[in-house]
């Protein structure tokens, strides 16, 4: 979809669903409403990790990434449930359908949040009235609470949606940033992580306002081009468009998972490596993609994390190839200390339509066999008509039943268009 040129000031919404997984479970089972609820990857296991929790649970100190046993200690009455990703995908699909009823310029960024450019909608009221109408529609039709940020660009809209939760609507205007945004601690700025915040504080930048006023040259000395970008955003400058096709831009596909306990047991490690490679293969096939680099991430018992990668000359997409390279990296770089988490990622990813055939001595025979198969299929199609065979891609369009690992992948963010 082409992005329209804006001749007037943009009006951008950022929609952020409140406690999405927990809220979906409450909508599915209203008896859970008002109770402390947490979603965890492995509720039965001592070291199961909290993925999200309701506001009732958060009030008792329950936080994302906390171990289940820690959460139960803080909140003994906590209800802990396994995630139901099919349910969350369906809710997300319905959410983005509602957003796309208002404008075609919708950009999902995860299962529970997205941007909308409502500059040129046919809505007759004010942007605030549109946001109120949208929020109530989501609540009425899906029984799900949301917060909405309204601003002239994506960065400010994102910051605005975080300011009032649950069921908040916040407007951020550039002319008011000295009062609304600049007094906030710099670590609360979207795009500033823990390490960046520490570096900023080391050069005297404590607030977003300090960043907005800092010398650009000095920031670039510390952070490169990102220093100037951060300063621009602190000043409310962000020219990025709301791009509906951004969900198709990906350069890596990966999965990671925390082990039930820190371990050096090679059987446990090999089983997890196998599961991760299998899941990466499924996701790559669903995206009709292949990649040239395999990266292994290892997080040890003391939280020290290493990433090591191997780059190939040819593209790969099979579990066998992914796992073979990941195992090579494990054998070469694992220091035999207990492992807490493993991640496997395929990088330098391209859609297969963009990849030219790269035949070598090992793939030539394979490709020749495929040619014979395609010739046979063509002959049968000529004789019996279209759709004699169902393509591999169609099989993957059914629904990938493999549950996502540490975070929800972006594989399903275009489902609302189907």
Find out whether 32 and 84 touch, Cβ atoms under 8 Å.
Answer: no
Going by C-alpha positions, the residue among 160, 161, 192 that lies closest to residue 176 is 160
Classify the C-alpha dihedral 157-163-169-175 as positive or negative: negative
Half-sphere exposure of 180 (CA within 13 A, CB side): 19
How far out from the chain centre does Cα 61 lie?
A: 25
Residue among 134, 133, 131, 137 at smallest CA distance from 149: 131
Binding residues for Mg(2+): 16, 112
Pairing of strands 169-171, 146-151: parallel
Please say whether the beta carbons of 67 and 49 come within 8 A: yes
CA pair distance 346, 277, nearest whole angstrom: 9
Give the H or E element holding residue 157. Answer: helix 154-161
How far CA 114 is from CA of 246, 262, 331, 350, in Å, comes to: 11, 36, 41, 24
**Peptide bond before residue 166 is cis, with ω within 30 degrees of 0:** yes
- The 3-state secondary structure of 72-111 reads HHHCCCCEEECCCHHHHHHHHHHHHHHHHHHCCCEEEEEC
Contact 369, 377 (CB under 8 A): no
Out of 45, 56, 77, 113, pick the active-site residue. 113
Verify whether residue 113 is a known catalytic residue. yes
Binding-site residue ranges: 16, 112
d(CA 195, CA 184) in angstroms, rounded, equals 18
What is the tally of helices (H) and strands (E) in the chain? 15, 13
- The residues near 90 (Cβ < 8 Å, ≥ 6 apart) are none
121 CB neighbour count, 10 Å cutoff:
15
Structure tokens belonging to residue 384: 């019996």
Q: Are 107 and 247 in contact (CB under 8 A)?
A: yes
> Which amino acids are annotated catalytic?
113
């Amino acid at each position: 979809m082409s992005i329209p040129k804006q001749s007037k000031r943009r009006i951008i919404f950022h929609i952020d669903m409140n406690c999405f997984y927990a809220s979906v479970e409450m909508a599915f089972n209203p008896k859970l409403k008002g109770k402390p609820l947490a979603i965890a990857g492995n509720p039965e296991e001592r070291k199961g990790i909290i993925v999200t929790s309701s506001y009732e649970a958060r009030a008792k100190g329950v936080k994302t990434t906390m171990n289940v046993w820690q959460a139960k200690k803080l909140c003994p009455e906590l209800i802990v449930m396994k995630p139901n990703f099919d349910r969350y995908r369906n809710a997300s699909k319905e959410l983005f359908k509602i957003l796309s009823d208002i404008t075609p310029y919708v950009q999902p960024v995860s299962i529970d949040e997205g941007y909308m450019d409502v500059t040129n909608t046919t809505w007759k009221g004010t942007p605030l009235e549109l946001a109120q109408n949208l929020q109530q529609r989501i609540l009425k039709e899906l029984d799900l609470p949301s917060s909405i940020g309204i601003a002239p660009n994506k960065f400010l809209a994102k910051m605005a949606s975080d300011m009032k939760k649950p069921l908040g609507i916040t407007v951020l205007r550039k002319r008011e940033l000295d009062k609304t945004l600049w007094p906030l601690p710099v670590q609360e700025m979207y795009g500033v992580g823990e390490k960046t915040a520490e570096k900023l504080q080391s050069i005297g930048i404590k607030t977003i306002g300090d960043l907005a006023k800092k010398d650009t040259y000095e920031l670039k000395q510390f952070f490169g081009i990102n220093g100037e970008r951060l300063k621009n955003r602190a000043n409310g400058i962000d020219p990025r468009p709301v791009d509906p096709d951004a969900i198709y831009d990906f350069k890596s596909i990966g999965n990671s998972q925390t082990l039930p306990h820190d371990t050096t047991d090679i059987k446990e490690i090999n089983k997890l490596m196998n599961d991760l490679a299998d899941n990466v293969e499924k996701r790559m096939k669903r995206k009709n993609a292949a990649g040239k680099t395999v990266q292994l991430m290892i997080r040890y018992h003391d939280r020290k994390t290493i990433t090591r990668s191997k780059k190939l000359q040819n593209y790969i997409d099979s579990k066998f190839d992914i796992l073979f390279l990941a195992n090579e990296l494990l054998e070469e770089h694992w220091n035999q200390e207990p492992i807490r988490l493993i991640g496997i990622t395929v990088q330098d990813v391209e859609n297969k339509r963009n990849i030219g055939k790269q035949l070598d001595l090992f793939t030539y025979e394979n490709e020749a066999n495929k040619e014979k198969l395609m010739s046979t299929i063509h002959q049968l199609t000529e004789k019996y008509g279209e759709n004699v065979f169902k393509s591999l891609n169609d099989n993957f369009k059914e629904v990938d039943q493999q549950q996502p690992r540490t975070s929800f992948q972006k594989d399903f963010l275009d489902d609302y268009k189907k």
